A and B are shown apart, each in its own frame.
Chain A
Amino acid sequence: MKYEVTAIALVVALLLALMRAVRGPTTFDRILAVNAMGTIAVLLIAVSGFLTGRPDWLDLALIYALLNFIGTLAVLKFIRYRNLGLDGGLERRHQEEMFPWKPPR
């Protein structure tokens, strides 16, 4: 019973995230919606694994959580640099411009 209730709550959250992704209005709403959807997907897979009596889906959900991170990193890098292929030197210089910090001697 408790798994059903959890699944229904997750589906409600999914629909809310869907509404935010579709209505928008700014791009950042959509980014947040996709991020939330990633978390909801992980939880929904885990719960439905218990719901259908196969708790080994938990491993799958864990891998999803790790994969979500790649997309989030790419989005963050795109917003910050407008580029995904910056070499390390350029990135470091950019960072030094943004955060001028000298290591203590």
Chain B
Amino acid sequence: MTDWLHLVLLIALVVVALDLARLRDLFAAAMLTGFFSLLCAVYYTIVDAVDVAFTEAAVGAGLSTVLMLGALSLLDERVETGRVRNRIGALSAALAVAAMMLYATPDMPAYGDPTSPVNQPDRPAWRYVHQSGKEIGVPNIVTSVLASYRGYDTLGETNVIFTAGLAVYALLAGVRRKRGQDAE
């Protein structure tokens, strides 16, 4: 029923990506990456990957825009990219990555495949799909896996990211203090 919506969103994604490659104004490019992320988030929601969509909206559209603007504020007033030297190299690298992704895609089990791990009763995925609603009480399977079955794993990940954030902040604080002394 919502097939046409998929089509429109994917075409819009391609259009934005092509325009991003064309743009030379970095501020406009930062804005357009936000646009791209929002389109991605909508598309992920529509194809039922609500958790991925949520991450995309928070990190892609929200945080990345802030980070890119922060990077732009450290650059000169006039922000433009230079001429691209190695066009053929960049294009072939992009095409190679695309080819690898397309090559890996058919390895995914087909939709509703009875031999896929989700449909094997002796695999943990079966339990996640069929029991998590009763065991955990969260309607979303991914959320119950992340926050309950693998809760300690998620706790560790959160600690790693928190530590990394603190370390970056400490490093940047040193840079800022040094620059302030230079200005005086």
Flag if B73 contacts A57 (CB, 8 Å).
no
A9 located at the interface, meaning its Cβ lies under 8 Å from any Cβ of chain B in the complex: no
Most interface-central of A56, A60, A67 (chain B CB within 10 A): A67
Q: A15-B12, A18-B15, A60-B45 are in contact. Are A52 and B66 (CB under 8 A)?
A: no
**B2 contacts which of A37, A38, A51, A83 (Cβ < 8 Å)?**
A51
B residues 12-57 near A (Cβ < 8 Å) are 12, 15-16, 19, 25, 27-28, 31-32, 34-35, 38-39, 41-42, 45-46, 50, 53-54, 57
A-chain residues with CB within 8 Å of residue B19 when the two chains form the complex: 21-22
Q: Give A103 to B13 CA distance when docked, in angstroms.
A: 51
Main secondary structure of the interface of A (DSSP, over half): helix
A residues 64-78 near B (Cβ < 8 Å) are 64, 67-68, 70-71, 74-75, 78
**A74 contacts which of B12, B65, B176 (Cβ < 8 Å)?**
B65
Q: Give A44 to B6 CA distance when docked, in angstroms.
A: 12
B66's nearest neighbour on chain A, judged by CB, is A74
Q: A18-B15, A75-B65 are in contact. Are A57 and B50 (CB under 8 A)?
A: yes
Interface size class of B (residues with CB under 8 A): 35 or more
Flag if A71 contacts B61 (CB, 8 Å).
yes
B-chain residues with CB within 8 Å of residue A63 when the two chains form the complex: 54, 57
A8 to chain B, nearest CB (A): 9
B-chain residues with CB within 8 Å of residue A67 when the two chains form the complex: 57-58, 61-62
**A30 contacts which of B28, B139, B176 (Cβ < 8 Å)?**
B28
B166 located at the interface, meaning its Cβ lies under 8 Å from any Cβ of chain A in the complex: no
Q: A7-B5, A70-B62 are in contact. Are A48 and B45 (CB under 8 A)?
A: yes
B1 located at the interface, meaning its Cβ lies under 8 Å from any Cβ of chain A in the complex: yes
B-chain residues with CB within 8 Å of residue A51 when the two chains form the complex: 1-2
Most interface-central of A24, A30, A33, A48 (chain B CB within 10 A): A30
Q: Mark A27-41, 1 if CB is under 8 A from B, else 0.
A: 100110110011001
Q: Give A85 to B25 CA distance when docked, in angstroms.
A: 22
Q: Give A31 to B1 CA distance when docked, in angstroms.
A: 32
Flag if B61 contacts A68 (CB, 8 Å).
yes
Q: Mark A14-28, 1 if CB is under 8 A from B, else 0.
A: 110010011010010
Jot down 18 A-B pairs with beta carbons below 8 A, ordered by A. Answer: A11-B5, A21-B16, A22-B19, A27-B27, A30-B32, A33-B35, A37-B35, A37-B39, A45-B41, A45-B45, A48-B45, A60-B50, A60-B53, A64-B41, A64-B57, A71-B34, A71-B61, A75-B31
Apart from A21-B31, A34-B38, A71-B66, list 17 A-B contacts with CB within 8 A: A11-B5, A21-B19, A27-B27, A27-B28, A30-B28, A30-B31, A30-B35, A34-B35, A37-B34, A38-B61, A60-B50, A64-B41, A67-B61, A67-B62, A70-B62, A70-B66, A74-B65
